[in-house]
Chain A
Amino acid sequence: MMRKKELKLVLTFHTTADAMAMEKACKEQNAPGRLIPVPRAISAGCGLAWCAGLDTRHILKQLMDRVGIEEQDMHECMI
């Protein structure tokens, strides 16, 4: 069986390079989350997304502003 889904924060990016910058920045600053394939609820295409708990929105947004990463979109979806 697949894991039980939870509502999560999912950030998509314009490019893979942006997604990698996000992972690097989060690792360096101990920010939560991990890379996942973009869920179909967001886009049928390919790509990487950053998935983290709903309560991390503010921390991640601050981090991204600080290091200059621009997300394409920020979603809440069941992962």
Chain B
Amino acid sequence: MIYLDNAATTIRKPQTVIDAVASAMCSMGNAGRGVNDASLGAARTIYEAREKLARLFHAEQPKQIAFTSNSTESLNIAVKGTLVPGDHVITTALEHNSVLRPLYELEKTGVELTILDSDRLGRINYEDFHQEIRENTKAIVCTHGSNLTGNLIDIRRVGQIAAKRGLLLIVDASQTAGVFPIDVQKMHIDILCFTGHKGLLGPQGTGGLYVRPGLAVRPFKSGGSGVQTYSKSHPAEMPTALEAGTLNGHGIAGLSAAADYLLETGIDAVRIREQELMDRFYKGVRDIPGVTVYGDFTSMERCAIVTLNIGDYDSSEVSDELLMTYGISTRSGGHCAPLMHQALGTAEQGAVRFSFSHYNTEEEVDIAIRAVRELAPEE
């Protein structure tokens, strides 16, 4: 199998990640529950993971990193834990349903929602933020990178707008964490939501969020915390405030090893390699007659994603053909990004997404190029 669906999840993980999960499953107690070697070992492992992620994201303190099971959970906590009826929030057409659906849900309760359009290349106009800010605007929620086109949003620029206007900035870093430099302080990010199983190279079922010191986020669950047992309310301090119940310690042990790998390898090296492979694929397919590539390729400083269609073929048929005939795994359909597809004009056809990992090879890319060429209708 040639796996080119790394934007869905990176299938190959460093061996150290696998070893760390296996080791944790042989030895890990419940962090913060009891004081014994096993529970303390778990607590240390999880704290170290916080430290490493805080380093990766330039957070002020490790305790500002709370663990969840994925970006969707983090985004739900961030959005539902900061907005109340009467607030206005701005988001973009680039968003995944994990941003859009919680916002639509809140809209029904009286939160006002503005969604910034994108152009046919999937780019937003940053001036639109200024134009849409109202007196009651509370937050901007936006992705760092589109899961459909791979286009980036300049978070530093959005952060400057948010900071200047006193708005919260909630960022969905699902496609960029572990690959692109993120400095929550310099980018004025108030809440950063990430998943562990994509660019961070950790296990599925891991994720989390950074919350700026001093910002209170209403948790949507309460319960066991390992501290303040006789209090009727869940502790309000980070990270415990957002971590009721036993964490996925085994997974977090893997995520911690993955963070080690990234810190040692360097995210720049990982990103440059991914982008080289993306560039090779893009240049190999863009001129094939009948192939339409979506997104903004004026710069290669983008997520390692190339999304395309071949003629008017159903994207699910093309994806199936790539799998059955060539053994190439891609993703077709809507990618949980309905507004982006509408902007690109692909709502009906869907699109076939090729997404690359630094573990992919030139040979795999060349086979994928050849496959696209062979599937394209003869003129």
Contacts and interface: CB of A to CB of B under 8 A. Distances in A.
A1 B333 contact: no
B325 A3 contact: yes
Contacts of B314: 39-41
A78 to B, nearest CB: 9
Interface stretch (A19-27, A44-52, A63-71): A44-52
Interface residues on A, range: 10 to 19
Interface string B317-331: 111110011000000
B321 A37 contact: no
B358 to A, nearest CB: 26
B184 to A, nearest CB: 32
A2 B313 CA distance: 9
A1 B378 contact: yes
B376 to A, nearest CB: 9
Nearest to B330: A37
B19 interface: no
A40 B336 contact: no
Interface string A5-37: 000000000000000000000000000000011
A37 B348 contact: no
Contacts of B333: 37-38, 44-47
B315 interface: yes
Contacts of A60: none
B127 interface: no
Contacts of B378: 1
Contact of A2 (B315, B335, B347, B375): B375
A37 B319 CA distance: 8
B202 interface: no
Nearest to A3: B321
Contacts of A79: 317
A37 B332 contact: yes
B377 interface: yes
A39 B316 contact: yes
Contacts of A44: 333-334, 347-348, 350
B374 interface: yes
Nearest to A79: B317
A7 B177 CA distance: 44
Contacts of A38: 316, 333
B325 A36 contact: no
B349 interface: yes
A33 B377 CA distance: 27
A59 B316 CA distance: 26
- Give the interface centre of A3, A36, A44, A45 by most chain B CB atoms within 10 Å: A44
B320 A36 contact: yes
A48 to B, nearest CB: 10
A62 B43 CA distance: 52
Contacts of B375: 1-2
Contacts of B350: 40, 44
A11 to B, nearest CB: 15
Task: Give the 4 A-B CB pairs with smallest separation, nearest first.
Answer: A37-B316, A46-B333, A40-B314, A37-B332
Given A2-B318, A40-B349, 6 more contacts: A2-B317, A2-B375, A40-B315, A40-B350, A44-B334, A44-B347
15 contacts: A1-B378, A2-B321, A2-B375, A3-B324, A36-B320, A38-B316, A38-B333, A39-B314, A40-B349, A41-B314, A44-B333, A45-B334, A46-B333, A46-B334, A46-B336
Interface of A: 1-3, 36-41, 44-47, 79
